Amino acid sequence: MKELKIFAIVVFLSGLLYWGIEPYAHHELHPHTDPAVYDFAAGDDSYSKSMLESSKIALEKAEVSGDGKKIENAKLDVQKAEKNLNDYKSFWNDIKAIDFKSADAIRGADVFANAGCTGCHGIKTAGFDAPMDNATSSSSFGVVAPDLSTAGAIYDESFLAAVIKNPVMAMKLNHKFGEERGFPMPEFYGVGGDDMNAELADLVAYLKSISAKYIKENGKISDSKLFEDACQRCHDIKYDKKYMLGNRIDLANYMGSNPPDLSMMIRSKNSDNYLNKFINDPQKMLLATAMPRVGLTKESEDQVVSYLEKIGDSKKDERSSVGFYTMIYFFILGIFATLWKIKVWKELH
């Protein structure tokens, strides 16, 4: 009977910890966030509306406080949020108007050359080496301009068109770059054709054709290669001996600080699919961060997270299996311990 009471106390305390303290830690100290949204237009619309709603609530609180300065600042925040919502609606409506089905990769190659893209970007798969080495590119722009061999496959086509048209809007960096500080990559205003949207579609088609060629030649885009093209311009992953491209001082000046090494990020930051959400929309997870939205497709994003898991948590499957077998061991041990206890106490009584 005494053992049953002890067991009941243990069950109660375990239940209190699991259903009482743990939910508080997960839901209050680590609030739930919306899942990653790969329809970037819908995601930006929803996020902009939520920011507008938050700014209106802040204005109401300021008005209740009667503090004139707070009210003035809150009104400005509401105006900024309204402008941001309208700007993104207009921006993505322009992107939605692009007819990708009528695009032509051959025309896109001409647009790519005439738009001056080769002044910064290389496409090794197409035989175009980068015009600058990494050190020069980093010194010129703060960050190394990427090779675009895989861009047509790893990025969403609407995002590709968006980032060509207006990189600051597409990557959600308007809090960091604007009239006072220009973004290294200029907006696209066309190359003199009658239809700028057609030129954007042709550019995307060209990049997709190059990526198709890369996949044909290499079989696939490996997880490691995807990380190199999507992340390594800024991030180290020292456990796999990969180091950021370019100069750290230039990058720190460009970003505001040096981006972290990602070797152990899978262990420290991936509860509730944090990494997927952060890569998908950094602003939603860490407001005003300097990290741009990457624009990866869901498949590409999953590859990046899988790669981080292989490098930073390579023993995950082994650890999980050890835990399972350990529980079986303790279960069997518990049976024998109980039988032994019954036998010993039976003889004593």
Please give the pLDDT value at position 340: 87
Please give the pLDDT value at position 69: 94
**pLDDT band with cut points at 50, 70 and 90 for residue 189:** very high
344: Cα separation from own chain's centroid: 60
- Mean pLDDT throughout 235-243? 96
pLDDT in tens, 31-87: 677 899 999 999 999 999 999 999 999 999 999 999 999 999 999 999 999 999 999
Please give the pLDDT value at position 307: 97
- Measured CA to CA, the distance from residue 289 to residue 302 in angstroms comes to 22
Query: Are 251 and 234 spatial neighbours (Cβ–Cβ below 8 Å)?
Result: yes
**Residue percentage of the chain with pLDDT more than 70:** 94
**pLDDT band with cut points at 50, 70 and 90 for residue 21:** low
In this predicted structure, the answer to whether residue 19 has a pLDDT above a threshold of 80 is no
- Measured CA to CA, the distance from residue 202 to residue 297 in angstroms comes to 20
242: β partners? 237
Q: Which amino acid is at 188?
A: F
Burial of 292 (0-12, 13-18, 19+ CB in 10 A): buried
pLDDT in tens, 279-338: 999 999 999 999 999 999 999 999 999 999 999 988 877 877 888 888 899 889 989 888
* Closest residue by Cα to residue 132 from 216, 50, 250, 303: 250
Residue 190 lies in a domain: no
In this predicted structure, the answer to whether residue 26 has a pLDDT above a threshold of 70 is no
- Measured CA to CA, the distance from residue 162 to residue 148 in angstroms comes to 15
* Closest residue by Cα to residue 262 from 280, 250, 244: 244
**pLDDT band with cut points at 50, 70 and 90 for residue 17:** confident
Residue 15 lies in a domain: yes
Residue with tokens 């093209």: 229
Cα torsion 274, 157, 111, 172: sign: negative
Alpha helices (H) in 97-195, listed in sequence order: 105-114, 134-141, 151-154, 157-165, 167-170
Cα torsion 72, 75, 77, 80: sign: negative
**pLDDT band with cut points at 50, 70 and 90 for residue 1:** low
- Measured CA to CA, the distance from residue 275 to residue 304 in angstroms comes to 9
In this predicted structure, the answer to whether residue 117 has a pLDDT above a threshold of 80 is yes
Residue 14 lies in a domain: yes
Residue 194 makes CB contacts below 8 A (sequence gap 6+) with none
In this predicted structure, the answer to whether residue 210 has a pLDDT above a threshold of 70 is yes
Please give the pLDDT value at position 15: 76
Encoding tokens for residue 75?
């009104």
| CA dist list (Å): 281 to 200, 257, 286 | 23, 19, 9
Residue 337 lies in a domain: yes
Residue 267 lies in a domain: no
In this predicted structure, the answer to whether residue 193 has a pLDDT above a threshold of 90 is no
**pLDDT band with cut points at 50, 70 and 90 for residue 346:** confident
- Looking at every residue in the chain, the average pLDDT score rounds to 92
- Measured CA to CA, the distance from residue 271 to residue 281 in angstroms comes to 16
* Closest residue by Cα to residue 311 from 234, 247, 228: 228
Residue 264 makes CB contacts below 8 A (sequence gap 6+) with 239, 312
pTM value?
0.86
pLDDT in tens, 244-270: 999 999 999 999 999 999 999 998 887
Residue 264, classed as helix, strand or coil, is coil
237: β partners? 242
- Mean pLDDT throughout 146-175? 97
Residue 257 lies in a domain: no
Residue 207 lies in a domain: no
* Closest residue by Cα to residue 56 from 27, 88, 19, 82: 82
Tell me how many domains the chain contains: 2
Please give the pLDDT value at position 23: 65
In this predicted structure, the answer to whether residue 4 has a pLDDT above a threshold of 80 is no
**Residue-range definition of the domain harbouring residue 330:** 320-348
Encoding tokens for residue 232?
């390594």
What would the DSSP string read from start to end of 39-67?
A: -HHHHHHHHHHHHHHHHHHHHHHHHHHT-
| CA dist list (Å): 203 to 166, 182, 325, 338 | 14, 23, 54, 73
- Measured CA to CA, the distance from residue 342 to residue 336 in angstroms comes to 10
Residue 53 lies in a domain: no
Please give the pLDDT value at position 151: 98
In this predicted structure, the answer to whether residue 105 has a pLDDT above a threshold of 70 is yes
- Measured CA to CA, the distance from residue 26 to residue 271 in angstroms comes to 9
Please give the pLDDT value at position 22: 64
Please give the pLDDT value at position 33: 76
